[in-house]
Structure 1
Amino acid sequence: MFEKYIDDIQSKHNNGVITAGSVHSPQSANIAKVAEFHKVKCITCVGGTKPENLDNHHMMRLTKHYGCEIKIVAGHGMSNVIHARERELAKENGYMVIEQGELLEKNPSEMFYATADQVENIPDELDNLVVASGVGIQLMGILLGLKKFNKKVKRIHSICVGPTREKHMKRYENELLKSQDGMVWDKPESLNLNEFTMLAHKSPYGKGHDYMVNNSYIDDIYEGKAYQWMLENVDTANEKTLFWCVGKRPRPEDVDYIIENGL
């Protein structure tokens, strides 16, 4: 998606991008790495920390390693305040705002169907599908894929890191109905997607839950919480269950290795 807007970034936005996120989130480092690759200037906006404490957060160390300027724009981590300041800075310096929410508004179907196509690889029938959710983008893509590939799932559990996102899911559906881009069925009045249950995990966002699957750590902020919930609430021994793994943030030791080796 970054590559799609690179010409505009270079010609209309002073060859710069600006993003925002939690000091724990991989978004800043992800954007910074792609910006570095394209030789684009990058700023990220964060809150809830002080300059002297930035290096205590391994995702911030990685973000700086990729050449991104980090601006602490709030003394707390409230998302709406941080993003408001991000937009102000974007106007001041002409940089393009680039993050998942912005990309979603510009091209919702491309975001969702990239995930939907992966659903082809899961079993045709399941008792349970467990998905870690932030703002529900992956979940919407999965629901579209279940319909596209006619997968039968009895129960879909969306374990939310933060508040539940039913309103987001409805908005995503409305955007898809308006756009029709990539639709695999003709002009529906409703997407008629699978029912799902959204549950808010009780742990604070920044508290990690360490779990290893097949001798590899899964993401501790998102997947770790959902995996814990699954172990405590789903009879995986007797019910056919799939745990959807989106990916993982680099762990502190991974970041140290990347920085030490100039990767």
Structure 2
Amino acid sequence: MTEYDLTPVQRVDGMLIKRDDLYAPFGPGEVNGGKLRQCVMLVKSVRDKYDSLLTYCSIHSPQAPITAAVAHAYEMPCRILYGGTSRESVASLPMPRLSMKYGATIVLAARSGRHSILHARAKELAAEKNSFIVQYGINLINHGDTLLTAVAAQAENLPDEIENLVMTCGSGITASGVMIGLHRYGKSVKHVHLVATAPDRRVFIHENLKQYGADREFEYHDLFHRPGFQYEKSVTARWGGISLHPHYEAKTMQWFKSSGLAPESTLFWITGAEPTNPARN
């Protein structure tokens, strides 16, 4: 499957599921999904201008191994910047370990893991080695058409009429792209439910939609600010035989099961699955 192929829509235990996790060009159990597709398209569009890749993110984020895997595929050096952590954590946690398996170099760049601090440090380090910075969420900055189109195209094989579309909302980029795709392909969706596992991105999403003439209302369900919510805490959830990502869709599935929405009138969008094969030869 290439980055331009449509991932399937399957009916599983009565509910339609968009299986973007089945975009897995590096093989079963490796990094996969819509964020990987975005990164592949992004790197393809810039690799002739840069000598290496650099990204910064939470130590629990799959953005690091995704960037590392794409860099490995295109034979580009890759650095991952983390803040507010230790070498012991890097050596023990799955996302940094998987990034290193793909050949990335880990840089403990700051005492704090705050986005603004890591971003400033990333700009300094990128200038030293002509590195392209993969921003938070696989960035839109100066590459909006590439990234949003990568997502929007996946709406083409959705049903023409949908009562409820449920999807996880983190950076808001995938959510923006999907709704642009709904507009582009004339899909009638009565209710778009965004289940937020990160800070509020509603203004950002509406700005993206307006740029493409696709602005619309959506229902926003904020998990991030609920008492006790922890991004880094894993949750186990399945639907049918599908294991859902413990930091993202599993939490959204928990919300769905208590939402009162009927599976038979819902399409559930899976952006990606947790890698299950961290060992590489």
Same fold per TM (> 0.5)? yes
Hey, what does 1:183 align to over in structure 2?
Answer: none
Kindly indicate whether residue 194 of structure 2 is the aligned counterpart of residue 194 of structure 1.
no
1:105 and 1:173 map into 2 onto residues whose CA distance is 15
Among candidates 77, 100, 107, match of residue 41 of structure 1: 77
How far apart are 1:66 and its partner, in Å? 1.3
In 2, are the aligned partners of 1:130 and 1:156 still within 8 Å (CA)?
yes
The one-letter code sitting in structure 2 at the alignment partner of 1:88 is: E
Hey, what does 1:61 align to over in structure 2?
Answer: 97
Among candidates 117, 122, 132, match of residue 86 of structure 1: 122
Among candidates 208, 211, 228, match of residue 234 of structure 2: 208
> Deviations for 1:132-177, whole angstroms, at most 9, x for unmatched residues?
0111111111111211222222211111111120121133235x35
1:199 and 1:232 map into 2 onto residues whose CA distance is 12
How far apart are 1:94 and its partner, in Å? 3.0
The one-letter code sitting in structure 2 at the alignment partner of 1:8 is: K
Contiguous gaps of at least 5 residues in structure 1: 10-14, 178-190
In 1, are the aligned partners of 2:136 and 2:171 still within 8 Å (CA)?
no
What are the residue-to-residue correspondences of 1:154-169 with 2, within 5 Å? 154-169=190-205
Q: TM-score, normalised by structure 1?
A: 0.82
The one-letter code sitting in structure 1 at the alignment partner of 2:92 is: N
How far apart are 1:37 and its partner, in Å? 2.2
The one-letter code sitting in structure 2 at the alignment partner of 1:86 is: A
In 1, are the aligned partners of 2:179 and 2:214 still within 8 Å (CA)?
no
Hey, what does 2:56 align to over in structure 1?
Answer: 20
Identity in percent: 30
1:125 and 1:139 map into 2 onto residues whose CA distance is 18
1:226 and 1:159 map into 2 onto residues whose CA distance is 6
More helix by share: 1
Kindly indicate whether residue 270 of structure 2 is the aligned counterpart of residue 245 of structure 1.
yes
The one-letter code sitting in structure 2 at the alignment partner of 1:54 is: V
The one-letter code sitting in structure 1 at the alignment partner of 2:47 is: I
Secondary structure of the 2:251 match is helix
Aligned length: 236
Contiguous gaps of at least 5 residues in structure 2: 1-41
Hey, what does 1:187 align to over in structure 2?
Answer: none
How far apart are 1:24 and its partner, in Å? 1.0
The one-letter code sitting in structure 2 at the alignment partner of 1:78 is: R
RMSD: 2.0
Q: TM-score, normalised by structure 2?
A: 0.77
1:126 and 1:3 map into 2 onto residues whose CA distance is 34
Hey, what does 1:222 align to over in structure 2?
Answer: 248
Among candidates 135, 143, 152, match of residue 107 of structure 1: 143
In 2, are the aligned partners of 1:135 and 1:168 still within 8 Å (CA)?
no
In 2, are the aligned partners of 1:18 and 1:42 still within 8 Å (CA)?
yes
In 1, are the aligned partners of 2:206 and 2:215 still within 8 Å (CA)?
no
Which stretch of the first structure deviates more once superposed, 90-99 or 63-72? 90-99
The one-letter code sitting in structure 2 at the alignment partner of 1:200 is: D
In 2, are the aligned partners of 1:125 and 1:151 still within 8 Å (CA)?
yes
In 1, are the aligned partners of 2:56 and 2:136 still within 8 Å (CA)?
no
2:96 and 2:138 map into 1 onto residues whose CA distance is 22
